[in-house]
Amino acid sequence: MPDEEGPNVQGNSKTSTSNNGRYEVIKIASADCVLLVDEQLKDEYRDSLGRTIRSIAISDNGWIVMSFDATDSSIIRIFDGDLKSVVYREPWQLDFGAGLSITPNGRKLAIGSPGENQVYTYDLELETDGSIIRSSRKAIVGPRSEGFGWKVGLSEMGTSIAIASPSAQVDFIDVGAIHVFVLIEGEWEVVNTVLYGKGSILNIGSGGVSVDDTRGIVTVQDSNLIKKSTFMVSPQYLLQH
């Protein structure tokens, strides 16, 4: 189950767990992973071309999203409740899917593409085959050369998103930055406050990020996936929209 330090952080390359704790995907080799359901082994998956698993996110109803890296491109795959069949796939440039986040209800997906300094959000068509609804796509453009979209975290209802830029610099030090956006009348608008790393927390968000817009909490995880830190962002601002 997600720990008590903050909301569930998804989208790293080693393991990811749904908010309700039922589903967990664990990477066991560069191109291999296993799915646990209620702590029992259900499926195994290996990329047929040996692509490296880059990022994993899972909804409470079993929608699994994974990104895979090849030499010069990346691909997103969506699975429904198991790893036997892919219900959707989308290839794009390298690092597409470096950051992934899916809402607990499986209805909204965020894909970070730091090579473009962009994050894409989509609605998912759950009633049919789990495909991305192409017409719902919205692009969030961030600062150049800061790794914008390296990791992403949607709030539970998908109305806020935290985006990590771990290469952002202050005084020539890679402190990293977290940008928070809220969905207002169908468009993503940035919250003025930017969170920067400092002290022992540098390259902030390099291992993952999440946002709780009820409590106004942003949680970041280090690249070793060991330490989490929490920051406050005004819940009044997030909720009034």
pLDDT reported for residue 129: 63
pLDDT reported for residue 4: 46
Please, are residues 204 and 196 in contact by the beta-carbon 8 Å criterion?
A: yes
Counting the structural domains of the chain, the total is 1
pLDDT reported for residue 5: 53
Any domain includes 187: yes
Any domain includes 9: no
Residue-wise DSSP of 7-18: SPP---SSEEE-
Is 60 exceeded by the pLDDT of residue 1?
no
Any domain includes 7: no
C-alpha–C-alpha distance, residues 7 and 101, integer Å = 12
Lowest mean pLDDT among 92-101, 116-125, 182-191, 216-225: 216-225
- pLDDT tens digits along 79-127: 988 998 888 899 999 999 999 999 999 999 999 999 999 999 999 986 6
Please, are residues 90 and 67 in contact by the beta-carbon 8 Å criterion?
A: no
> pLDDT band at 193, cuts 50/70/90?
confident
C-alpha–C-alpha distance, residues 137 and 121, integer Å = 6
Is the C-alpha dihedral spanning 76, 33, 209, 237 positive or negative? positive
Any domain includes 10: no
Any domain includes 4: no
One-letter amino acid at 204 equals: I
Any domain includes 5: no
Paired tokens of 133: 């609804």
Short-list 64, 2, 15, 4, CA closest to 207: 15
pLDDT reported for residue 155: 95
Q: What's the mean per-residue pLDDT of the chain?
A: 88
Please, are residues 97 and 114 in contact by the beta-carbon 8 Å criterion?
A: no
C-alpha–C-alpha distance, residues 64 and 85, integer Å = 11
Any domain includes 202: yes
Residue-wise DSSP of 62-120: -EEEEEEE-SSEEEEEEEESSSS-EEEEEEEETTTTSEEEE-TTS-EEEEEETTTTEEE
pTM of the model: 0.91
C-alpha–C-alpha distance, residues 122 and 214, integer Å = 22
Any domain includes 103: yes
Is 50 exceeded by the pLDDT of residue 241?
no
Could you tell me the residue range of the domain that residue 201 belongs to?
15-240
Is 90 exceeded by the pLDDT of residue 63?
yes
> Which domain CATH number covers 58?
2.130.10.10
